[in-house]
Amino acid sequence: MSTTQSERLRELLEPLVTSQGLDLEEIAVDSVGRKRVLRVVVDSDQGADLDAIADVSRALSAKLDETDAMGEGEYTLEVGTPGAERLLTEHRHYARAVDRLVKFQLAEGGELVARILEVDDEGLDVEVPGVKGRKATARRLGFAEIDKARVQVEFNRKDKKEEEA
């Protein structure tokens, strides 16, 4: 059974990321011209600030330098966090997205935009925003009902502004 370079790198680097109090969310090796780029995406329940990113980046760089995991030739190491419109694929992703607006692609077809209120082992309690003056409605979504889910960027969240006023 062969393993891909990304899988080998995950096995090598994940313990280091975990020791820094972070989760290894994604790892990818891409070719950009003649150079290669190793992209590592990390996160935690509290998020990852710049200091945490710098610390884990130094630790990963040192580990990669002492092994031949990237083989011969130059490469660039990029360490970051998931983007603002992250795809939710793991239970922990949903838990971290509580109080965020999410666009769900439903397994039965169609889509739903709703705010995650609570997450448990079976699914989510969400609030579907009201349209044209209607009140928001509560709904339960089981994980099996969700085909895809992506956090949405909100620039003008009205209920947050009302709470602050």
Q: Report the pLDDT value the prediction gives residue 163, as an integer from 0 to 100.
A: 46
**pLDDT of the residue at 125:** 96
Q: What is the pLDDT of residue 126?
A: 96
Please tell me the distance from the alpha carbon of residue 31 to that of residue 73, in angstroms, as a whole number: 12
What pLDDT shows up at residue 46? 82
Considering only CA atoms, which of 36, 44, 46 is closest in space to residue 19?
44
Domains 5-80 and 91-164 belong to one CATH topology: no
Alpha-helix residue ranges (DSSP H) falling in the chain: 5-19, 50-66, 91-96, 158-164
Q: What is the pLDDT of residue 85?
A: 78
Question: What residue ranges do the domains of the chain occupy?
Answer: 5-80, 91-164
Which pLDDT score is estimated for 14?
Answer: 93
List of the chain residues with pLDDT < 50: 1-2, 161-165
Asked if residues 98 and 116 have their Cβ atoms less than 8 Å apart, the reply is yes
Superfamily holding 5-80: RimP-like superfamily, N-terminal (3.30.300.70)
pLDDT of residue 164: 46
Q: How do residues 114-142 score in pLDDT, each as one tens digit?
A: 999 999 999 999 999 888 878 989 999 99
Model pTM?
Answer: 0.71
Topology of the domain covering 91-164:
SH3 type barrels. (2.30.30)
Alpha-carbon gap, residue 112 to 134, rounded angstroms = 16
The pLDDT score that the predictor gives to residue 1 is 37
